[in-house]
Structure 1
Amino acid sequence: METRFLVDPGGLRDLADALTNRYDPTVGEDALHRLSDFLTVRVPGRRDDRGKTVPELVGERRYRDAVQGLWPQLIAYSFDEPAPPEGFGNADRPAGPFAPPSRRRVVPRYFGDRGELLGILRGLIDTLFGGAAADAGKSTWCEKTPFNLLCMDFLWELVPEATIVHIKRHPVSVLASHLAQPWAPPTVDGALAYLVPIYHRWLTWKNTADLTGGRYIEVKAEDLAADWPGQRRALFERLGVDDFATRSAFEAHKLTNRNDQFGEETRAFVEEALGEVIPAMGYE
């Protein structure tokens, strides 16, 4: 599942810093506000490609109870701030008859021991993801937010035993795919401006990280598509899980359908702009 609240802005990663090394009451309260919006508005309102929300996937009662149980562990004190005569955020005009007389404020906890906070956040993850996996008769779960790749240090803080699987694709094909996405820049120049810094940040971090020990697995999407049953079996073996026929599969035609998207001149321009990214990602 793709939940996004682990590493996206306003999620658990931001909160972990806001209540530890970046702590002050304002920073902490802001992080709690953003996480509350994430967990109570954005996550329940977002459907995946199967038409399901995260609460529906993990169990709506489980999700609601886990989120509600999180706040008392993160808040030291709460109080009501009286509204000024002009109302909150309306300093240029008097408050109307329906303006709230006060607003709820919180004093966030400070965690001098970051491990204590991570334990609380891990409890949320175990309840939601572990509970859903157990309901399905599975011992493992997978979270696939795209930018997990750029937050591996935090993810291993949160779930030290996790294995991170990086399924990569030829950078030119990645750029071509982005041009078809409504959330990405619609031009080649725009897509390059979006993607090249991501590649550079990833490769810079990767060159300094210790990725030995089996906690990181890197595979090419093209290899998976060339022989999905065989490659799937090998991948699952590396992950220590039993092989099974998955409902979805990597299919070659879905990866090659953009091979002719660029003309010769445009492709040469893209390859030059990507530069060393292409060989650094293991492609020619």
Structure 2
Amino acid sequence: MFVVVLQALAGFLSIIAMLYQKRYNKLHRSIYGLSYDLYLLDLVGSGLYLYCALHYCYSPLIREQLSKRFPLFYPLNEASSVPISSSLFLKDFFVFFCCLLVLRQLYYYRSTKHIYQGISITSTLFVSFFVMLGIFTYGCSIFNLPLKDSGKFGVFYLDHINYLWVMANLLKSFKYIPQMSINWMGCSTIGLSSKYVVISFFAEFIDLVGRLLIPTSASFYKLPFNSTPFWVKLVQFITLLVILFQVQYIYVGRKPRLPKGKL
């Protein structure tokens, strides 16, 4: 379907944007003004996307529970009953890989960061909470296996994967807010590649406009399980719009004023 194609195109444009940011960091040998949380949240979110997609596609237990819960939509005797987009899977894989590359730069050039850079307590708490919640739901979901597939407290293994998918979307939706906050605290967008911002904004724009203007004829149960919900893209678009406004208007020409932080 065309909406999935647009979503994949937007994803690969965002990968190009990340590569431009990586190149910018390498040329300047600096990560001053760049958010650690942005790439941490993107990395964890993409990793969860991949994990969930693999389970939806290849886990016999997931397929069995999905078929029992929605027998008309996902019959067990049809191998392709669970829709997974391979292009979106590849997109998530490359985003995950690019996040690793940029995080590697954030580590190697850490001597150039300012006092407000680093992995924040807020992001650490959010990720830690999601990790503990994921471990808890996993333990509940496998509590009665293999005798019966229903888990403790009514949590099935399918529910565990669905919870992880929701967590991934929450992390993805707010990933640009840390960068927006760092720009505001430093009253500068030094360190942020303008090409990264423009291409990322354009990617989210075509995805969002495509969903609004191009109606899809596919039924809801035929939409790929690894597609990104509309509300996630909407939040990303709004936050990127603010960052673009910061880069092009509010802090244009501003010199950095924050001192470098400790290693």
Same fold by TM (over 0.5)? no
TM-score (normalised: structure 1): 0.30
Q: Specify the structure having the higher radius of gyration (Cα).
A: 1
TM-score (normalised: structure 2): 0.32
When you count helix as a share of all residues, which structure comes out higher?
2
